[in-house]
Structure 1
Amino acid sequence: MTRRSPVDAAAVAASQAVTADVLAVARAGRERVSLVDSPPGAGKSTLVRAVAAGLARDGRQIPIVSQTNEQADDLVRDLSSDLTGTHHSVGRLHNSSTYEPPDDLRAEPRIALSSDIAALQECSVIVAPAKKWAFIDSGQHSWPLGIIDEAYQMRGGDALAEVAELFDSLLAVGDPGQLSPFTTGDESLIRGIERSPLASAANVLLNSHPNAYQRMLPVSWRLAPQAAELVSRAFYSAQFRAGTTAGARRLQFSQLGNEDPLDRVLGHAADSGWGLLELPQAYMPVDDADAVQALAELVCRALTAQGRCRDEHDRIYGLDEGRIAVGVTHTAQKRRVRAVLDQMLSERGFLPGAVVVDTANRLQGRQFELVFAWHPLSGRHDTSSFHIEAGRLCVLLSRHRQACVLVTRAGLEAQLEAHPQPEPLWLGERQLAVDGWEANLSVLEQLAEHRIAA
């Protein structure tokens, strides 16, 4: 019997077609603004690199605007590899006082590092964070096309405005389901104004260029079919699918019992890709001790149960500490989980600190085999706009390749029904394509069959 292909050939073709179209549009140079939306793990960075490398081979110099130094470094590494065997080099423009280039970038002869744009003029591609590009004088330096990576994470009111004059046209790429720019201050004075500083660069570009060329990458290569279906339905107005076929990946625990809810939710998640551990309903402080204990114990159970992963290429590897993450909402939760988990890991002979524990904001762009997520609304009395935001829950539920376990207090449905509109609508403000209240209800509805009471 012939085994079914682990990779969906139609998905491969659909993804390649979008990349080819975007590259053709960039080459033609007729569009002032192009926007490509990308669901989680759809190959956004691969698209950026493909367009940049393709145009570089045409003899053009391509600037890329990232949002962080880490993103810039990753792009430079991958672009250098993509251009192996060619005469093209990659430039990394950086701050002279606060940035220390990683050793591997220093050692690569195809990578040029400098704080001076003039020193990188022979490079085919130049990569830098937006904050560094903002210091380049548009009167002395400009380019026909600039690429913005993570356009939904970039603020449009200041960060975009500071770099836009450098480029005659822009190709912006990003994930509309990710977290939007936000502030901890009082934003009431700027809500609803045209080109609010809190609007994402992607939304500002669409507001100013409503006829912009738009495409969406149609396939997630990170999320398995059961994960792509839930995330797509709950968080995206345009649907996408998984690039792998059902059963192409597998997570198995050889030493997992079935004695309590934690064992059962782990086993269920390994089999189905999802688990919902529901603690008893209660209003709790932000660092709910029972939720902290459950998350830390789940991580330790997963490690001691000797998990093994199989991917779509039939590679088999152990579920070690570096392949597991815990996602939370607040830094107070992060600190508390970190402290309790590290003590448990040390007691069980594992390396403290090896398991990633971080907020949704910091987990954007990362992926793991197994993720334990603390629901933003767990234990709360109300549904504030911060905690109900669709992007926050979307990030937490879309970092995994094998399985995700969501931990929460019971009563979320009643909590949402009691607070159907957490904040007023603002005239003149572009409304989000996906409503956070509806997204949360969709997730709970889809996870109902995966619910296990603690």
Structure 2
Amino acid sequence: MTAPATDVVTDAIDQLLNGPRCGVVLDSPPGAGKSRAVVRTSTHLARAGEPVRVVAQTNAQVDDLVRKIAQAAPELAVGRYTRRGYLAPATLDLPNVIVRQQLHELRDAPIVVATARKWMDPPPPRGPWAVIDEAYQMRSDTLLRIASMFERALFVGDPGQLDPFSVVNVERWTGLPWNPMTSAVAGMLATNPDIRPLQLPYSWRLPPSASAPVSAAFYPHVPFQSAPQQGIREMWLPTHGLGHIRDQAVELAAETGWAYVELDARHTVRADPQAISEVAAIAARVLERGTMIRSLDEPAGATVRSDRIAIGAVHRDQVAAIATELRRIGHPNIRVDTANRLQGAEFDVVIVLHPLAGRRDATTFHLESGRLCVLTSRHRHACIVVGRAGTAELLDAHPSVDPVPLNTEPKFPDGWEANHAMLEHLTRHRIRSR
């Protein structure tokens, strides 16, 4: 972590310890080191002799944080507070990790980590500190239910990604001060308008070829850069291709970091068989060509493995169809998931099924800026997007005209503008299917 990023975390810790406010917000672009900030803050507080509660949103995030905190501070006991029937992964088989289902059994652990849902069951007695990871994914009503367990908290998260969501209609609460579907950060800032969020300045995941377009499209008011001094970032193909569009896509992605495979214009069903076949075949082609990468983590070079490739889509039926196709062609270990479930994950190469590919309309769901932001910011080396011709015309035919309800702030960036900005970037790396 470079000096400016380190200074921001130091400033956040200082404000948490000595500032006049009960909350500190630390905004982070994709891959900027949210986990490092959480680890550093929690270990700093614990080493000062006070207990720390760490809150994450999913069990996978909790397991990852427990491992990182335990490795960063082997002298500290780290508690993994969990549900009944939980099986700890092998990564938590560390001498200073304690896994328990009852909080009183973790009273000697200076750092205890659990999901927000677990902390609600029921909230423990008040303690001095909490560190909330992925705070923009937490609903404000969840924060209200656990707020009694801490006096001060650090909220760490990415403001450009997906907001909390629900499968039920939530319009009845829109614009109300107690709207449970606002994020924990938005709810906290609404009642503490004098709090000014801090921001980590660099992305350690995205290379310069990705940080510029992602920042311009999804973070126009809080721009960021790829971290300097992170060494070389290369991707190359040691074998020759056959000139197929899939080979062209992998070759262009290796050269520039991006490729946009544009299929013929057509209105299709949501689980478009041609597009699904294409994204699966491109992922397989990355492996078949023996794609190599070099970075700070792999200075001598390494072959891209199947578990370092991901395919992202926006609907579960698309994910299911792609997973079936991957099994059919012999690559079941490639991860395929929705944008919601890919949040926080990182891969060497990501293939994306464009949210608007083959659609007749552009709905609010499909224009959600956070959805496309997640899909196009998971990669360390290359992102390949598969779409259909006519997407720009589709956007122009469905301008952003959603009304802004009373007592609500317009969402920035606007999803329509963000989609147009990213599509303009992708068209510079376009490969048209024949």
Q: Partners in 1 of 2:13 and 2:354 — Cα distance?
A: 39
Which secondary structure state, in structure 2, belongs to the residue aligned with residue 189 of structure 1? helix
Match of residue 26 from structure 1: 16
Q: Partners in 2 of 1:329 and 1:32 — Cα distance?
A: 37
**Structure 1 position 99 matched with structure 2 position 78:** no
Matched residue type, 1:115:
Q
Which secondary structure state, in structure 1, belongs to the residue aligned with residue 329 of structure 2? helix
Aligned pairs (5 A) from 1:243-392: 243-244=227-228, 248-257=232-241, 259-312=243-296, 314-345=299-330, 352-392=331-371
Query: Which digits, 9 at most, give the CA deviation of each residue in 1:143-183, with x for residues without a partner?
Result: 12211111011111x21111011111221100111111112
Q: Are 1:64 and 1:148, in contact at CA under 8 Å, matched by a contact in 2?
A: yes
Matched residue type, 1:150:
E
Matched residue type, 1:403:
A
In percent, how many aligned pairs have the same letter?
37
Which secondary structure state, in structure 1, belongs to the residue aligned with residue 197 of structure 2? strand
- Greater shift, 222-231 or 303-312, is seen at 303-312
Unaligned runs of at least 5 residues, structure 1: 1-10, 346-351
Q: Partners in 2 of 1:304 and 1:233 — Cα distance?
A: 34
Instruction: Summarize the Cα distance change of 1:247–1:274 in structure 2 as closer, same or farther, 3 Å threshold.
Output: farther
Matched residue type, 2:403:
P
Query: Which digits, 9 at most, give the CA deviation of each residue in 1:186-226, with x for residues without a partner?
Result: 22222222131111111111111111141011100000001
Which secondary structure state, in structure 2, belongs to the residue aligned with residue 427 of structure 1? coil
Q: CA deviation at 1:32?
A: 1.1
Q: CA deviation at 1:422?
A: 5.4
Matched residue type, 1:264:
Q
Query: Which digits, 9 at most, give the CA deviation of each residue in 1:69-91, with x for residues without a partner?
Result: 1111111111111112x3x2111
Q: Partners in 2 of 1:258 and 1:217 — Cα distance?
A: 43
Instruction: Summarize the Cα distance change of 1:124–1:213 in structure 2 as closer, same or farther, 3 Å threshold.
Output: farther
Q: CA deviation at 1:245?
A: 6.0
Kindly tell me the number of residue pairs found equivalent between the two proteins: 431
Q: CA deviation at 1:98?
A: 4.2
Q: Alignment partner for residue 163 of structure 2, among 175, 180, 184?
A: 180
Aligned pairs (5 A) from 1:187-266: 187-236=170-219, 237-244=221-228, 248-257=232-241, 259-266=243-250
* RMSD, aligned CA: 1.6
Matched residue type, 2:288:
T
Which secondary structure state, in structure 1, belongs to the residue aligned with residue 405 of structure 2? coil
Match of residue 68 from structure 1: 58
Match of residue 17 from structure 1: 7
**Structure 1 position 439 matched with structure 2 position 423:** no
Q: Partners in 2 of 1:247 and 1:147 — Cα distance?
A: 31
Q: Partners in 1 of 2:336 and 2:51 — Cα distance?
A: 39
Q: Partners in 2 of 1:195 and 1:220 — Cα distance?
A: 34
Q: Are 1:194 and 1:429, in contact at CA under 8 Å, matched by a contact in 2?
A: no
Q: Partners in 2 of 1:414 and 1:369 — Cα distance?
A: 32
Q: Partners in 2 of 1:18 and 1:262 — Cα distance?
A: 42
Q: Alignment partner for residue 129 of structure 1, among 115, 118, 124?
A: 115
> Normalising by the residue count of structure 1, what TM-score does the alignment of the two structures yield?
0.92
- Greater shift, 304-313 or 377-386, is seen at 304-313
Unaligned runs of at least 5 residues, structure 2: none
Query: Which digits, 9 at most, give the CA deviation of each residue in 1:243-270, with x for residues without a partner?
Result: 1469811111122425232211211110
Q: Are 1:224 and 1:244, in contact at CA under 8 Å, matched by a contact in 2?
A: no
**Structure 1 position 82 matched with structure 2 position 68:** no
Q: Partners in 2 of 1:161 and 1:440 — Cα distance?
A: 33
Q: Partners in 2 of 1:394 and 1:244 — Cα distance?
A: 22
Q: Alignment partner for residue 111 of structure 1, among 97, 116, 124?
A: 97
- Greater shift, 109-118 or 280-289, is seen at 109-118
Q: Partners in 1 of 2:63 and 2:223 — Cα distance?
A: 31
